[in-house]
């Protein structure tokens, strides 16, 4: 138990470091550039009509306060951190006066749902097929599956999602290609609404799984093909343990530990993929919100989403890290 506590503390320290560096990067990017977001917003707001100089001055002052750009560098930095820690990024400019946190809170469940379903599916499918392909190396079907996974894997999320959109949007329109649920369907736990949520999720999930599966497949296959030549596996085979048991309990069980570490490592890039996939399919999550915010010039919303994404991904990584000892008992001893 004590060993686990030390391990958990280390992971917690890493979590704090990730959030610290991540938020500092966001601060650096948003403040170290020569462009003043206040002037940008002012010029965007005044380009449509002629505002009086007094009105512009007032607007400038209130925007400075709103964006936390008052005072010197130290107080701006402190204000930035306070916003992140409290989770209050001020009102959104494009959906005034709704607070940024409300907008993000509304979008976050969609992203979390999409991400967790597709990551679990891709991870399970890729590892299972990869394990089989590493163990039954002569199988034609598994070799073909390997080639297919290898062909799709290097293609970025955007292109895969885009191709799926073309195929199911224009060539063979059977699935909904936009939105998170059917419009005008009342919210609630009834069959109709749940079904519309599921059918709308099929294409985004499919494109995330298609890209994701290849990495797990190849990782698992090479791990398994190294483990099968280990002495204890050869011994088990000679002792007549059934092949299913060898593959499940002896080989894949051991290969799973590095794969879970890999999952924690790649969560950030999977998140990037989810953002872009959401945008392609108009899914009402964080990604679509972020891109809308950029187009609308909504400074506080963009900063809010960037900060929340960093914190959310780090929390997910921390959860995986804390659960990892269940899978790898060596952590408890060491």
Partner 1 sequence: MFTVLRDLLRYRTEFRFGAILTGFIAAFAALSLVSPYPPQDQFVVPPDLPPSWSYWFGTTSRGQDVFWQLTFAIRNTMLFGLSVAVLSRLVSIAIGMWSGYKGGIVDRLLMSVNDTFIVIPLFPLLVLFYFVLRDRMSWPLLALAMASLGWAYDARLIRAVALSLSSREFTQQCVFSGMRTREIVFQEHLPYVLPIVFYTTMNNMNWSIGLEVTLSVLGFTDIDTPTVGVMIYWANQHTALVAGVWWWVFFPVLFVMILFIGLFLLAISTNEYIDPRSRLARMGDVSG
Q: Which residues are near partner 1 by CB under 8 A? A: 14, 17-18, 21-22, 25-26, 29-30, 33-35, 37, 40, 150-151, 153-159, 162-163, 166, 170, 218, 222, 225-226, 229, 264-265, 267-269, 271-272, 275-276, 279, 290-291, 294, 299, 302-303, 305-306, 309-310, 313-314, 317
Q: Minimal distance in Å, beta carbon 138 to partner 1?
A: 11
Burial class (CB in 10 A: 0-12, 13-18, 19+), 151: exposed
Report the SS3 class of residue 298.
Answer: coil
Q: Pick between residue 168 and residue 181 the one whose CB is nearest to partner 1.
A: 168
Which residue is listed with tokens 């907008």?
A: 103
Q: Pick between residue 181 and residue 263 the one whose CB is nearest to partner 1.
A: 263
Alpha-carbon distance of 115 to 242, in angstroms, equals 36
Q: Pick between residue 176 and residue 304 the one whose CB is nearest to partner 1.
A: 304
CA dihedral 81, 85, 90, 91 (to 10 degrees): 140
Q: How many helices (H) and strands (E) does the chain have?
A: 14, 0
Report the SS3 class of residue 268.
Answer: helix
Q: Minimal distance in Å, beta carbon 288 to partner 1?
A: 11
Q: Pick between residue 51 and residue 296 the one whose CB is nearest to partner 1.
A: 296
Q: Minimal distance in Å, beta carbon 8 to partner 1?
A: 15
Q: Residues 6 or more apart from 68 whose CB is under 8 A from it? A: 76, 79, 80, 83, 90
Which string of b and e fits 253-291 if b means at least 16 CB within 10 Å?
Answer: ebbbbebbebbbebbbebbebbbbbbbbbbbbbbbbbbb
Q: Pick between residue 25 and residue 58 the one whose CB is nearest to partner 1.
A: 25
Asked whether 273 and 65 are in contact (CB, 8 A), the reply is no
Q: Minimal distance in Å, beta carbon 107 to partner 1?
A: 13
Q: Minimal distance in Å, beta carbon 168 to partner 1?
A: 13
Alpha-carbon distance of 213 to 127, in angstroms, equals 8
Q: Minimal distance in Å, beta carbon 188 to partner 1?
A: 32
Q: Pick between residue 42 and residue 197 the one whose CB is nearest to partner 1.
A: 42
Handedness of CA 178, 182, 187, 193 (dihedral sign): negative
Q: Pick between residue 23 and residue 247 the one whose CB is nearest to partner 1.
A: 23
Closest CA to 181 of 195, 161, 164: 195
Q: Minimal distance in Å, beta carbon 13 to partner 1?
A: 8
């Amino acid at each position: 138990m004590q060993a686990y506590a030390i391990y958990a503390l280390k992971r917690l320290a890493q979590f704090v470091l990730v959030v610290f560096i991540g938020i500092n990067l966001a601060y650096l990017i948003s403040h170290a550039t020569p462009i003043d977001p206040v002037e940008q917003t002012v010029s965007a707001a005044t380009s449509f009509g002629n505002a009086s100089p007094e009105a512009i001055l007032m607007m400038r002052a209130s925007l400075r306060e709103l964006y936390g750009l008052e005072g010197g560098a130290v107080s701006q930095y402190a204000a930035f951190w306070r916003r992140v820690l409290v989770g209050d990024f001020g009102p959104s400019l494009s959906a005034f006066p709704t607070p940024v946190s409300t907008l993000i809170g509304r979008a976050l469940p969609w992203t979390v749902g999409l991400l967790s379903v597709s990551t679990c599916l891709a991870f399970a499918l890729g590892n299972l097929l990869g394990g089989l392909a590493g163990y039954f190396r002569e199988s034609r079907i598994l070799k073909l599956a390997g080639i297919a996974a290898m062909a799709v894997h290097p293609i970025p999320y955007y292109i895969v999602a885009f191709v799926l959109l073309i195929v199911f949007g224009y060539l063979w329109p059977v699935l909904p290609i936009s939105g998170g649920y059917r419009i005008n369907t009342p919210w609630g736990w009834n069959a109709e609404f749940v079904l519309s949520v599921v059918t709308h999720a099929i294409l985004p999930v499919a494109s995330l799984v298609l890209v994701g599966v290849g990495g797990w497949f190849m990782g698992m296959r090479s791990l398994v093909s190294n483990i099968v030549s280990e002495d204890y596996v050869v011994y088990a085979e000679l002792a007549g343990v059934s092949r299913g048991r060898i593959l499940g309990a002896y080989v894949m069980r051991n290969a799973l530990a590095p794969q879970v570490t890999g999952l924690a490592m790649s969560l950030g890039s999977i998140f990037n993929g989810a953002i872009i996939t959401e945008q392609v399919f108009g899914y009402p999550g964080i990604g679509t919100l972020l891109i809308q915010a950029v187009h609308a010039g909504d400074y506080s919303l963009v900063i809010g989403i960037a900060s929340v994404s960093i914190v959310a991904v780090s929390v997910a990584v921390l959860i995986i890290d804390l659960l990892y000892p269940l899978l790898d008992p060596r952590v408890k001893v060491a």
